[in-house]
Amino acid sequence: MTMRMKEEALPTYRAFEVTESRRFRLVEREVREPEPGHVRVRVEACGVCHSDAVAVEGWRADPSAPIVPGHEIVGVIEAVGDGVWGWRVGERVGIGFLGGQCGQCERCRRGDFVNCSDQPQTGTTVDGGYAEVVHARSSALVRVPEGLSVLETAPLLCAGLTMYTALGRLPIRPGALVAVQGIGGLGHLGLQYAARLGYRVAAIARGEGKAALSRHLGADHYIDSTAQNPGQALRDLGGADAVIATAASGASMNGLVTGLAPQGHLMVVGAAPDPITVGTPDLIFGTRTVSGSLTGSSIENEDNLAFTLRHGVLPMTEVMPLSQAPAAYERMMSGQARFRIVLDTTA
């Protein structure tokens, strides 16, 4: 009897569940078959992103319900559910924050997949990648090109995509002045994207500690926001055609509109708990715009990975094993990481 029970035991995988605020628990889950329209992926790496805070800090409708965080996932398909076509077992794929458009709602019917009204949020409303196995809708899958390592690819699926699509949505000319505010997990990638897209680039950060690195990553100008007013500094450069604001602080973005050239755009990608305050004359006189940008669709993510591979855009990462996921999250939230942390589930 004991031998038969051992033979019939289902395979399991490790996962870090979180409940309430920062209550991590390492669990063993049974491997199950994917639902129709879904695939099962054996996770190889998962980035640790600031947006994981929605799950980990308990900012969900029901924080008592366990959820596995993580949405910068790279792995290999190991099972395909009914109704899935175009994907096969053994393919290396990525999964980002957007868990796959439904294809049926009004936004999808209009081609606006990012704002699909029936789309899971990986690691927030459905289980994510702080685990050895993850399930995902096939519409969420991103093909990972040869030439990108697993550990390099993970942060590109969210942080990289966020910067790539934000820049792509701006109606600005080659050679325009683009400023990146906040040189952290998002910003250090934003400098690289902006430079390789042919823009003049200004980096805005606190203190001089990131000046040399910013120039190495592609910045033509460096603005220390503790030593000078960023808006005035940008005006001294002729005005920015666009500013990409990545800092998790609305107050730090308040003066950036005044640094925009006429027809300039402030594009906000950094989620902050406090509001942005903008003077109405600063918008009206100069016809300036403030808008937001939310990551991108799975096919846009494939474009993003192709661009990064061709132009050598790479994240600066620290690698930690899955077993240290809670510590990795704490290090990311403390601001000590330089600049992205990636969990290696194979370690």
> How far is the CA of 34 from the CAs of 15, 40, 133, 219, 301, in angstroms?
17, 6, 11, 45, 23
Query: How many other CB atoms are found less than 10 A from the CB of residue 68?
Result: 23
Domain co-membership, 196 together with 280: yes
Gap between the Cα atoms of 211 and 205, Å rounded: 8
* Residue-wise DSSP of 250-273: SGGGTTSGGGEEEEEEEEE-S--S
Asked if residue 112 and residue 13 are part of one domain, the reply reads yes
Among residues 292, 308, 326, the one where a domain terminates is 292
Residues 229 and 302 in one domain: no
Is 164 domain-assigned? Answer: no
Identify whether residues 25 and 124 lie together within a single domain: yes
74 with 144: CB under 8 angstroms?
yes
SS3 (DSSP) at 318: strand
Q: What span, in angstroms and rounded, lies between the C-alpha atoms of 329 and 88?
A: 32
Rg (CA), the chain: 21
CATH number of the structural domain spanning residue 34: 3.90.180.10
Tens digits of pLDDT across the chain (347 residues): 344 344 456 799 999 999 999 999 999 999 999 999 999 999 999 999 999 999 999 999 999 999 999 999 999 999 999 999 999 999 999 999 999 999 999 999 999 999 999 999 999 999 999 999 999 999 999 999 999 999 999 999 999 999 999 999 999 999 999 999 999 999 999 999 999 999 999 999 999 999 999 999 999 999 999 999 999 999 999 999 999 999 989 999 999 999 999 999 999 999 999 999 999 999 999 999 999 999 999 999 999 999 999 999 999 999 999 999 999 999 999 999 999 999 999 99
Q: For residue 75, tell me if it sits in a domain.
A: yes
Q: Residue 293 and residue 250: Cα distance in Å, rounded?
A: 15
155 and 6 fall within a common domain: yes
Same domain, 178 and 225: yes
Residue 251, domain CATH: 3.40.50.720
| Residue 97, both tokens | 């924050």
139 and 201 together in one domain: no
Does a structural domain hold residue 165? Answer: no
> How many Å apart are CA 338 and CA 336, to the nearest integer?
7
pTM of the model: 0.94
Please indicate, yes or no, whether residues 49 and 80 belong to a single structural domain of this protein. yes
Note whether 267 and 322 are same-domain residues: no
Indicate whether 224 and 270 sit together in one domain: yes
Q: Are 6 and 150 part of one and the same domain? A: yes
Instruction: For tokens 């500013």, name the residue.
Output: 243
Q: Can you give the residue range of the structural domain that contains 215?
A: 170-292
Characterise 74 by phi-psi region: left (phi > 0), alpha (psi -120 to 50), beta (else).
beta
How many domains would you assign to the chain?
A: 2
Residues 136 and 215 in one domain: no
CB 87 within 8 A of CB 141: yes
